[in-house]
Amino acid sequence: MDEDSVLSAMPEDHKQNLKRQRGGAKAAVTRLMTQITTAMNCNQPKEVEMKLAALDEAVVRFSEVHDMYHKTLEDDDDLDASKGYLTSVLRDVQDFQHTALSWLDEFKPSVEDLNVDVPNFQEEISMLSVNQLTTQLQDLNKLRQREKEEFSRLISQQEERLRAEFKLQLQHAQCEMDEMKDLLKLKDAEVEESRRKVELELMNKDTSTPVSELSKQQYQSNIDSMHLPPVDIIQFDGEPLNQGYAEAMAILKRRFGNPYAISQAWVDKVLNYKHIKDNKQLQSFADILCSCRDTLKAMKCEDELNGGRTLLQIVEKLPEDIKKRWLTVNYEIVKSGRLPKLDDVVSRVESEAAKRADPIFGNLLSSISRNSPKRKAFDNFRKRLQKMKIEYALLYPATLRFTINGTVKRFASPNDVTAFIDSLG
Q: Are both 355 and 381 inside the same structural domain?
A: no
What is the C-alpha separation between 351 and 397, in angstroms, rounded?
23
- Residues 285, 349, single domain; the answer is yes
Q: What is the pLDDT of residues 258-277, one digit of tens each?
A: 666 777 787 888 888 988 88
According to the model, what pLDDT value does residue 209 have?
39
3-class DSSP state for residue 404?
A: strand
pLDDT value, residue 295? 82
Q: Is residue 191's pLDDT more than 60?
A: yes
The total domain count for the chain is: 3
In a domain? residue 86: yes
Dist. CA 21–CA 66, nearest whole Å: 9
Same domain, 291 and 390: no
Looking at per-residue pLDDT, the higher value among 208 and 242 belongs to 242
Please, which residues have CB within 8 angstroms of residue 304's CB and are 6 or more apart in sequence? 263, 264, 267, 296, 310
Residue 352 has what pLDDT? 87
Q: What is the mean pLDDT of residues 39-68?
A: 90
Q: Closest by alpha carbon to 67, among 95, 29, 25?
A: 25
Q: 277 and 375, same structural domain?
A: no
DSSP structural state of residue 318: S
**pLDDT for the residue 112:** 42
Q: Which of 128, 152, 177 is the last residue of a domain?
A: 128
Q: Which pLDDT belongs to residue 256?
A: 53
Kindly report, residue by residue over 121-156, the tens digit of the pLDDT. Answer: 445 545 555 667 678 788 888 888 888 888 888 898
Instruction: Out of 152-166, 199-213, 359-373, give the one with best mean pLDDT.
Output: 152-166
Say if residue 90 is in the same domain as residue 34. Answer: yes
C-alpha–C-alpha distance, residues 12 and 25, integer Å: 20
Average pLDDT over residues 283-294: 88
Mean pLDDT of 305-332: 88
pLDDT band (50, 70, 90) for residue 241: very low
CATH number at 382 reads 3.30.250.20
Quick one: pLDDT at residue 38? 92
* Residue 162, domain member (yes or no): no
Please check the confidence at residue 248 and state whether its pLDDT lies above 70: no
Q: Which domain holds residue 84?
A: 3-128
Residues 342, 303, single domain; the answer is yes
| Mean pLDDT for the stretch of residues 292-313 | 82
Model confidence at 307: pLDDT above 70: yes
Confidence at 232, pLDDT banded by 50, 70, 90? very low
Whole-model pTM over 0.85: no
Statement to judge: residues 40 and 119 lie in one domain:
yes
Residues 289 and 406 in one domain: no
* Domain closes at, from 128, 154, 177: 128
Strands 239-240 and 407-411: what pairing?
Answer: unpaired
Residue 144 lies in a domain: no
Which of 2-11, 23-32, 42-51, 100-109 has the least mean pLDDT?
2-11
Distance between CA atoms of 201 and 132, rounded to whole angstroms?
A: 103
335 and 398 assigned to the same domain: no
- Residue 385 lies inside a defined structural domain of this protein: yes
Of the listed ranges 5-14, 144-153, 178-187, the least confidently predicted one is: 5-14
Instruction: Show which of 323, 353, 369 is a domain's final residue.
Output: 369
| pLDDT greater at residue 210 or residue 218 | 218
Residues 168-175 have a mean pLDDT of 85
pLDDT band with cut points at 50, 70 and 90 for residue 34: very high
Q: How big is the chain by its Cα radius of gyration, in Å? A: 42
Whether 178 maps to a domain, the answer reads no
Query: 213 lies in a domain?
Result: no
pLDDT band, residue 181 (cuts 50/70/90): confident
Lowest mean pLDDT among 72-86, 100-114, 325-339: 100-114
pLDDT of residue 334: 92
Average pLDDT, the chain: 77
Same domain membership, residue 113 and residue 14: yes
Question: Bridge-partner residues for 409, per DSSP?
Answer: 402
Instruction: Note the pLDDT of residue 188.
Output: 82
Q: Is the pLDDT of residue 229 over 90?
A: no
Task: Evaluate if residue 418 carries a pLDDT over 50.
Answer: yes
pLDDT at 237: 46
Residue 72 within a domain? yes
> Is residue 57 domain-resident?
yes
| C-alpha to C-alpha distance for 87 and 94, rounded to whole angstroms | 11
- Do 10 and 124 lie in one domain? The reply is yes
As a whole number, mean pLDDT of residues 312-317 equals 90
> What average pLDDT does this structure show over 172-185?
83
Best CA proximity match to 47, nearest among 36, 57, 58: 36
| pLDDT at residue 235, rounded to an integer | 47
pLDDT at 37: 93
Residues 274 and 361 reside in one and the same domain: yes
